């Protein structure tokens, strides 16, 4: 077992499983975030409060951060190993090597990592550790007014543009990663692969457009 996870294939397997876990998380995160577009911020604030206080969600949160770390660590290791193994480019590169999505996976990963750190500092850390977010009361229960913070942030034009650029990077990363993860797991068949590619494309469009719509609509409508 230890040899499996220390091998090149094992590292790619761990990276792929962690990536698929994060892909599922993105859909849950999107559904909750879309609540901020409702006329009343109550649904979003209560959902954010539940996500931040429920013991099961807290345990899943630890798993989520673990998934992020595993995905980033193993992706870094695999990339370095690939660079070492191929110090010089092939004389005739195949499509997978020249594909824009594949070629710039590392670049989009760096952009997303920087964005994720800034995003967590701006929302998660403030809510968890600094208490800089106002409180609102619903039926006698005090919760963080996360909706007001989100709306305030997305009424700043340069913040909206940063999110749009970062989320487009997420789209590129997600589209290639979705297909690559299933291929690493051995699901590569003339019958199934076209469906996986189509599902990956549709999922990527939903996630990317869904997340981008939040800052754009808040900026123009709120």
76 vs 113: CA distance, rounded Å: 12
24 vs 54: CA distance, rounded Å: 19
Largest CA distance in the chain: 69
For the chain, domains (ranges, CATH) are: 2-89+101-221 (1.20.1300.10)
Q: Which two tokens stand for residue 217?
A: 């609509």
Q: Is 100 left (phi over 0), alpha (psi -120 to 50) or beta?
A: alpha
112 vs 165: CA distance, rounded Å: 10
Q: Which two tokens stand for residue 142?
A: 């005090």
pLDDT at 101: 55
Task: Find all residues with CB under 8 Å of 130, minimum gap 6, and list them.
Answer: none
37 within 8 A of 217, measured Cβ to Cβ: yes
pLDDT at 215: 94
Each residue of 3-25: pLDDT tens digit? 555 566 666 676 777 777 788 88
Residues in the chain, pLDDT under 70: 1-12, 14, 82, 85-104, 126-132
Each residue of 188-220: pLDDT tens digit? 777 778 888 888 899 999 999 999 999 999 999
pLDDT at 128: 67
Residue length of the chain: 222
Strands (E), 98-183: 135-138, 141-144
75 vs 97: CA distance, rounded Å: 16
176 within 8 A of 101, measured Cβ to Cβ: yes
Strands (E), the chain: 135-138, 141-144
Q: 3-class DSSP state for residue 131?
A: coil
Q: Which helix (H) or strand (E) holds 151?
A: helix 146-153
DSSP state of 122: I
- Beta bridge mates, 135: 144
pLDDT at 211: 94
38 within 8 A of 44, measured Cβ to Cβ: yes
């Amino acid at each position: 077992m230890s040899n499996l996870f220390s091998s090149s294939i094992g590292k790619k397997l761990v990276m792929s499983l962690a990536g698929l876990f994060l892909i599922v998380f993105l859909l849950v995160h999107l559904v909750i975030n879309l609540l901020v577009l409702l006329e009343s911020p109550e649904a979003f604030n209560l959902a954010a409060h539940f996500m931040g206080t429920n013991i099961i969600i807290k345990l899943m949160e630890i798993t989520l951060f673990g998934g992020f770390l595993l995905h980033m660590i193993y992706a870094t290791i695999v990339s370095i190993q690939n660079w070492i193994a191929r110090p010089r480019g092939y004389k005739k590169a195949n499509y997978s090597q020249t594909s824009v999505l594949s070629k710039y996976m590392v670049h989009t990963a760096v952009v997303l990592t920087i964005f994720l750190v800034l995003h967590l500092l701006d929302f998660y850390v403030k809510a968890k550790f600094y208490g800089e977010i106002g409180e609102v009361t619903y039926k006698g229960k005090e919760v963080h007014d996360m909706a007001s913070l989100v709306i305030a942030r997305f009424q700043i034009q340069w913040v909206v543009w940063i999110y749009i650029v970062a989320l487009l990077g997420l789209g590129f990363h997600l589209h290639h990663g979705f297909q690559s993860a299933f291929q690493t797991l051995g699901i590569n068949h003339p019958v199934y692969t076209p469906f996986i590619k189509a599902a990956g494309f549709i999922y990527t469009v939903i996630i990317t457009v869904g997340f981008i719509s939040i800052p754009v609509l808040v900026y123009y409508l709120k």
